Amino acid sequence: MTHTRTRLERGRNALGPALELVHTGRAPTRAVLTTALGVTRATAGAVASELQTLGLITVDSRPGGATGSHGRPSHRLAIDPGGPVALAAQVHADGFRAALVGLGGQLHATTPACTTVAADPREILGQVVAAGADLLRATGRPCVGAGLAVPSAVAEPEGTALNPLHLAWPAGAPVRDLFNDCLAEAGVDAPGYCGNDVNLAALAEHRHGAGQGAAHLLCVATGHRGVGGALVLDGRLHSGSAGLALEVGHLTVDPAGRPCHCGSRGCLDVETDPLALLEAAGRTPGPEGSLLDQARELLRTEYATDPAVRRAAHAVTDRLGLGLAGLVNILNPDRIILGGLHRWLLEADPERLRGLIETSSLWGRSGTVPLASCTLDYNSLVGAAELAWQPVLDDPLAALPT
């Protein structure tokens, strides 16, 4: 056995952290990069120019812009607009979508949402990958990898979808392998990664959206059906030892509530999803539009006018608050962001939810947990791209061709 370059696989050690700072928008100039990395200006300069040589960022030599501060203005750092992209894909109950995402979480191209839903996993993945491959060919830019968001827990390291029941897939479908097969077939020579859609949304929000700066970010969101959770710890997705953490859908929030397919009653999954709100308001779901859209419309148009809608929203909010309080006691996050229906419930009555969490989370007094809405468009897609970008962020030299 010979020992060869264990030392971070050679290459500048600060390269990855530096790229991550630019990626997350925390290093607009070389000066703040210097202080953020805690290195000398000489090192930061070398690192920045190396990232520039890799074609990942640009270093503005002649800014000319007003700095507002004294002294020599710092060179501005920006994502190279011609740099590589990641292929992002998402499948959900109502269709699928593909996109290209560059560094910084910027969407460079998106396919229109497709609403034909093939029952067979292989078929739908083939469709979404083909759409993404078309985008790639159209831009001609290099691809660092591909990410896929699915509405199911994804077991690691197997890469299997454990409960894709909203897709009517078989439990345990080898989604990562299928995804990679489709990528190879479509001629995309890049590694494919898979993750749960809410997890990936949380990751995207942490890096580019409402979760920025949170050290312990909890995200709870409804998709089109069901409820998902995610936790981002110190910038990394915490998905447990097997990728199954934060499956919060089956927290009990109403012991006398409606039965859940898990066998229990009153689970967060069935008590706080769009269908629950519609039913509580005495509405029958219509045929057009997703349940999520219908619930949103209901809140938007009739929350202020119809007492029944208001009562229903309050009831659902109360159950959500109970679930969040339980999670706060277990996870002690420093920020909570809500997506899907939960976001609209929060915005309909922020104080009610805040109050609930404070009173039933034991340590209400020792600092309220800030609640916020998810703000990023297509956050699951952006999060899927983060998966593909991660190796580059960890070690640009090793992950990139040259």
Partner DNA sequence: TGGCTTTGTGTCTCCCATAAACAAACTGCG
Partner DNA sequence: CGCAGTTTGTTTATGGGAGACACAAAGCCA
Question: Which one of its own copies, DNA, none is in contact with 133 (Cβ closer than 5 to 8 A by kind)?
Answer: none
Residue 41, interface with DNA (CB under 7 A)? yes
Helix ranges restricted to H, 6-160: 15-23, 30-37, 41-53, 121-139
Shortest Cβ 215–its own copies spacing (Å):
6
Site for its own copies in 346-375 (CB under 8 A): 360, 362-363, 366-367
Residue 31, interface with DNA (CB under 7 A)? yes
Question: Which one of DNA, its own copies, none is in contact with 5 (Cβ closer than 5 to 8 A by kind)?
Answer: DNA
Shortest Cβ 14–DNA spacing (Å):
4
Shortest Cβ 393–DNA spacing (Å):
16
At 376, give phi and psi (nearest 5°). Answer: -85, 135
What's the distance, CA 141 to chain centroid? 24
User: If you search the block for the tokens 């995200």, which residue do you land on?
Assistant: 219
Q: Which residues fall within 8 angstroms of residue 176, CB to CB, at 6 or more apart?
A: 148, 154, 158, 159, 160, 192, 193, 194
Taken in order 335, 322, 329, 248, the sign of the CA dihedral is: negative
- Per the DSSP assignment, residues forming a β-bridge with 372 are 337
Residue 243, interface with its own copies (CB under 8 A)? yes
In 3D space, the residue among 36, 217, 54 whose CA is nearest the CA of residue 144 turns out to be 54
Task: Identify the helix (H) or strand (E) that includes residue 347.
Answer: helix 341-348
Q: What is the DSSP string of 253-297?
A: S-TTS-B-TTSSBSBHHHHSSHHHHHHHTTPPPPSSS-HHHHHHH
In 3D space, the residue among 367, 377, 297, 312 whose CA is nearest the CA of residue 336 turns out to be 367
Give 223's DSSP letter: -
At 49, give phi and psi (nearest 5°). Answer: -70, -30
Residue 239, interface with its own copies (CB under 8 A)? yes
CA distance 221 to 274: 11
Residue 34, interface with DNA (CB under 7 A)? yes
| Region of 65-73, 100-108, 205-213, 336-344 interacting with DNA (CB under 7 A) | 65-73
The residue among 338 and 388 lying less far from its own copies, judged by its C-beta, is: 338
Residue 54, interface with DNA (CB under 7 A)? no
Site for DNA in 70-89 (CB under 7 A): 70-75
| Region of 231-239, 279-287, 374-382, 389-397 interacting with its own copies (CB under 8 A) | 231-239
| Region of 34-42, 85-93, 181-189, 195-203 interacting with DNA (CB under 7 A) | 34-42
Residue 212, interface with its own copies (CB under 8 A)? no
Residue 64, interface with DNA (CB under 7 A)? yes
The residue among 63 and 259 lying less far from DNA, judged by its C-beta, is: 63
Which positions touch its own copies (CB under 8 A)? 3, 6, 38-41, 153, 155, 162-163, 215-216, 229, 233, 238-248, 250-252, 255-256, 262-264, 326-327, 329-334, 360, 362-363, 366-367
Contact positions vs DNA (CB under 7 A): 2-7, 10-14, 29-31, 34, 38-47, 49, 61, 63-64, 66-67, 69-75
